[in-house]
Chains A and B, each alone.
Chain A
Amino acid sequence: MTADNTFIAGFLESFHSYYGNKAMFMIAVVSCLYLIITTRRERRRLVFPMLFILVAILNPVFYRLTTEHGIYWYWRFLWMFSETIISALAITRLIKAVEGVYLKPVFFTAFCVLIIMCGSYAFRTSAFSKARSLEKLRIGTADICDMILEVDKTPHVVMCYIHASDARQYDGDITLYFDRYSYEVNSPHNTHEGKMCWELEQTSPDYDYVFSTAALDGFNFIVSYGNRPVAPGLAESYGYRNIGGTAGVDIWYNQTVIEAE
């Protein structure tokens, strides 16, 4: 594959992944056509500028320019083509143009049904869950943090990756060994943090490394996945003891650990 083909393939992939099943994009395209044909004013002040922006960004040349300059979020440029406004305007104008008082509600309902059938619902269960508290953190994070904070108000925690993003939103006094950017699937050993994070994510973690490094670096808590058990006596050999488990994790505490610095 030539370099140009690679860019075109990358560009097409970005386009496909942004617009999903493309039903909404098609509605927006049809809306643009409708507005171009039926109204001079909207054509000039909304559709032409939007199409100008779309043409300027939705092409392999611009894609190449951005990616070559290290911009990994090319798809965010597509935000400027506001299909929501164009489509809503076209539909509203179409309803307005319909003759007959009784036909208008019919068209209104028909368009609502069309959008529902073509679209992907925002509040679907795969994206949202029922809020359990006003903080709206990941399930279990608050319980884990409460257990830790009960023992130490300023803990240093090696937190398993799934809760690492939310722990400090719950309490800023928690210090974490690694953050969400530490998990590097392809090159796990670039940093200490990356290695620690990677180890905890393995189905059979190297707990020797995890406990020894945590103790050495002055981290008095380790939160490991409950379904990845630690060999009996291993944690204790590094001064850690299990203080309980919640939300599918085990919490290990070392009372004697001294901060490395």
Chain B
Amino acid sequence: MLTANNIIIAVLIMGLVPLFIGAGVCRILRLRKTVSAFYAVGMFSVWALAQLLIVPCIFMQTSFQFACMFYLAVLLICSLAGIAALVFMVMQPEESEDKKKQKGWKKAEVVIIHILMAGVVGFVIYNTAVLQHTDADDATYVVNAVDMLRTDTMFRTMVTGEYTDNMLQFIKYLVAPWSFFGAFAAFFSGIKVTVLFHTVFPQVMILLVTAVYYELGTSFFMKSAVYRPVFVIFAWMFNLFGCASIYSSETFLMMRSWQGKAVVAGIGIPMMILIFIEMYADIEKTELFLLLAVVNCSMCFMSGVGLALSCIMTGSYAVIYSLLFKKPKMLLYFGAALLPNAVYGAFYLSLL
């Protein structure tokens, strides 16, 4: 059973902390100041921080509890900075370009279509809560997290439960320790790891991907607020009915959203597209390349496939944009944004 305490701490870790950190990052990087932008940017920043802090901890063989405390301390400091940024934003409200461009917010149709969007998202959340899909890959993703809590070590227990000194048995997960995030949230919230992965994570991911879709809708329909939720509704319709095979990104998002590779497919790639679309509007804005580096880093945290795909996507957009805008200097920025991929990729290859 989940207690009120469990739920409050889980909401803090996976709801408010990303929101505060996102507010801080959005302010520093001069990004859109909306709740959905805060949450999307914040969650990816939280994962990027995990990648930066936890991979060294794993290799230094620190205890799991130490890694949790270290990570929590950094998250809290960043959250405090985010709260300060939020207070500053509230005290000195600035009318952003986006807001100036928004028209017709008070129209009834905008309210109705937003309610419809909430209904679609609510439908997905309800079904994800009351239905279950078992996936054999959890034998590693979830079990690795179970063992972190049980043994106070990271990636030292085989999926059968045997202890091993050979960390290279886990080579895939050493550079992409997604399981840590689940174990970390379970450690502080007191929620059983399996419950957290199978019941709590899917709800968080649905909200997160909705935030990313909403921001994409805002980028596509800057001047007409009514079409943003329409875009979100259709994006969800395609996810709901796009499960043409067990391999599609829609299937991964809908059926196993708690796994790192599913987050890459369903959330990471739309987030990258969002950044590239924003770049088109202002290609000189270097802050967007910083955000791209953060998202690339978090893609490395999610899965090895995230490392590869974010690398290819960044490279492809670098080629296209440098041709479109005829600015070779841009390749340098794209290259800098690929630094996390290069570092963790080289690290992975050195372990082979």
Contact = CB atoms under 8 A, between A and B. Distances in A.
B198 A134 contact: yes
B250 A122 contact: yes
A235 interface: no
Nearest to B258: A136
Contacts of B264: 79
Interface in A112-155: 112, 115-116, 118-124, 127-132, 134-138
B127 A172 contact: no
Interface string B134-155: 1010110011001101100000
Contacts of B273: 46, 82, 85
A79 B249 contact: yes
A53 B227 CA distance: 27
Contacts of B346: none
A22 B244 contact: yes
A119 B241 contact: yes
Interface string B11-40: 000000000000000000000000000000
Nearest to B279: A45
A229 interface: no
Interface string B150-182: 100000011111100000000000000000000
A52 B309 contact: no
A209 interface: no
B261 A76 contact: yes
Given A88-B235, A122-B240, A128-B131, A169 B139 contact: yes
B131 A131 contact: yes
B2 A116 contact: no
Nearest to B244: A20
A77 B139 contact: no
A120 B220 contact: no
Given A80-B309, A168-B143, A180-B139, A175 B160 contact: yes
Interface string A165-196: 11011101111111110000000000000000
A95 interface: yes
Contact of B316 (A44, A53, A78, A127): A53
Given A123-B127, A131-B132, A136 B199 contact: yes
A99 B177 CA distance: 51
B277 interface: yes
Given A76-B265, A77-B312, A118 B234 contact: no
A129 B131 contact: yes
Contacts of B138: 165-166, 169
A52 B132 contact: no
B159 A168 contact: yes
B136 A165 contact: yes
Query: A interface, how many residues as a size bin?
Result: 35 or more
Q: Which of B133, B160, B216 has the most CB of A within 10 A?
A: B160
A17 interface: yes
B270 interface: yes
Contact of A121 (B130, B213, B241): B241
Contact of B221 (A96, A137, A177): A96
Contacts of A87: 234, 238
B265 to A, nearest CB: 4
Contact of A82 (B143, B261, B269): B269
A218 to B, nearest CB: 12
A20 B264 CA distance: 21
Interface stretch (B46-54, B82-90, B290-298, B317-325): B317-325
A44 B134 contact: no
Interface in A152-167: 164-166
B239 A122 contact: yes
B255 A127 contact: yes
Contacts of A230: none
Given A118-B241, A123-B127, A175-B162, A138 B134 contact: yes
B8 interface: no
B133 A170 contact: no
Contact of A172 (B146, B220, B243, B244): B146
B295 to A, nearest CB: 14
B194 interface: yes
Nearest to B196: A134
Interface string B219-243: 0110010010011001101111111
Given A44-B280, A130-B132, A134-B199, A83 B242 contact: yes
Interface in B180-234: 192-195, 198-199, 213, 216-217, 220-221, 224, 227, 230-231, 234
Interface in B301-339: 305, 309, 312-313, 316-317, 319-321, 324
Contacts of A77: 309, 312
Nearest to B255: A127
Contacts of A49: 276, 316-317, 320-321
29 contacts: A18-B245, A19-B245, A24-B242, A56-B312, A78-B249, A79-B252, A79-B264, A79-B269, A80-B269, A82-B273, A84-B238, A84-B249, A95-B230, A96-B221, A112-B237, A119-B240, A122-B251, A127-B255, A128-B131, A130-B130, A131-B129, A131-B199, A134-B1, A134-B192, A134-B198, A135-B192, A136-B134, A168-B146, A180-B139
Given A49-B320, A80-B313, A88-B235, 11 more contacts: A25-B244, A56-B312, A57-B312, A80-B269, A84-B238, A108-B230, A127-B133, A128-B132, A132-B132, A170-B194, A173-B150
